[in-house]
Amino acid sequence: MPELRKDPITGRWVIISTGRENRPSSYGKYTIESKGGFCPFCEGNEKHTPSELLAYRNGSERDAPGWTLRVVPNKYPALSIEGELVREGEGMFDKMNGIGAHEVVVETPDHALTLATMPPENIKNLLWAYRERVLDLKKDKRFRYILLFKNQGEPAGATLEHSHSQIIALPIVPLLANEELTGARSYFNYKERCVFCDIIMQEKEESSRLIDENNDFLAVSPFAPRFPFEAWILPKKHRAFFEDAESQEYESLSKILKRLLLKMNRGLVVPPYNMIVHSSPFYENTQDFYHWHMEIIPKLTKVAGFEWGTGFYINPTSPEEAAKFLREVQIP
């Protein structure tokens, strides 16, 4: 049983998840299944994953071929879905058992496609599947936060090549989400405006950090990015929760996301990246001041002692340069 533990100094929680050591790749070099090797996510290999939680199918049977997207429990989950949440002390330390959900979204049956190359309808399906899973997991009152994310490529932490995302539901609100909430709340208390809405306004006006725009979304290089070519996709409509967006917004998002990934693929030569949805925690009154968004972080640099030691990042590329570069990349 994994454990959640809190560092008594910073308040930082971690998962002690010892069961994960028998993952296919635990330390150091990740053994990526190369093209042609066996892939549990390919069509026809459905029996090699845990049974599906959700699938988009054309009338075919559960856990059989004939689908465009599948969601299955992670075979090597970081958290355990079974059990009651138990909080306890250990001398001066605090801990909690590692209750949570850890799911995998297989984004396409086709091993050769990626988010950048699949049709926008598939991306819209993926966003819709995120939404469906969040709405379902939200019913479980043990969970306070859900993270939707994707590791693309081995340097970004992907252990399987076949295009997939992950969903993790947590019984606590993680540090970074709390930092965002705290910052956005105090901005709202001071200005009575949403900090994200203000960013959208300024970025549209200034346009130097604007990468792309459509009816519902802005793609920008943030003012203070941790990483070169880090990009945020911000919804124009103020909403705290990703899962509350409307169908047409997911369609707009799928289009701007595909364009951004194509630009990165062409301009930065198929970089590995992490994609993360930041949405509000549950059971907090965040409607006024929090604003969901998406972050895409290409993995172009290594994080070293300075960053680990300070939480302070050295970024060799300004967001204005990055945005200009990506704006000018021509895509079909």
CA atoms within 13 A on the CB side of 160: 23
Say how far apart CA 135 and CA 138 lie, in whole Å: 5
Applying the rule CB under 8 A, the residues between 126 and 155 that interact with a copy of itself are 147, 149-151, 155
Token digits of residue 226: 């941790």
Least Å distance between CB 112 and a copy of itself? 22
List the one residue out of 47, 68, 48, 42 whose CA is nearest residue 57: 68
Applying the rule CB under 8 A, the residues between 228 and 257 that interact with a copy of itself are 228
| x/- letters, 155..194, toward a copy of itself (CB under 8 A) | xxxx-------x-x-x---xxxx-xx--xx--x-------
Identity of the residue, 244 or 307, whose beta carbon is nearer to a copy of itself in the bound complex: 307
DSSP string, 253-276: HHHHHHHHHHHHHHHTTS--EEEE
Say how far apart CA 175 and CA 53 lie, in whole Å: 29
Least Å distance between CB 272 and a copy of itself? 9
Least Å distance between CB 214 and a copy of itself? 23
In the DSSP assignment, the letter for residue 145 is E
Which of 34, 192, 302, 328 binds a copy of itself (CB under 8 A)? It is 302
| x/- letters, 32..51, toward a copy of itself (CB under 8 A) | --------------------
Say how far apart CA 151 and CA 119 lie, in whole Å: 19
Which of 61, 140, 198, 246 binds a copy of itself (CB under 8 A)? It is 198
Query: What's the start-to-end Cα distance of the chain, in Å?
Result: 49
Identity of the residue, 57 or 138, whose beta carbon is nearer to a copy of itself in the bound complex: 138
| x/- letters, 267..286, toward a copy of itself (CB under 8 A) | -------xxx-x--------
Say how far apart CA 216 and CA 214 lie, in whole Å: 6
Q: Is 291 a catalytic residue?
A: no
Applying the rule CB under 8 A, the residues between 74 and 133 that interact with a copy of itself are 78, 90-93
What are the catalytic residues?
164
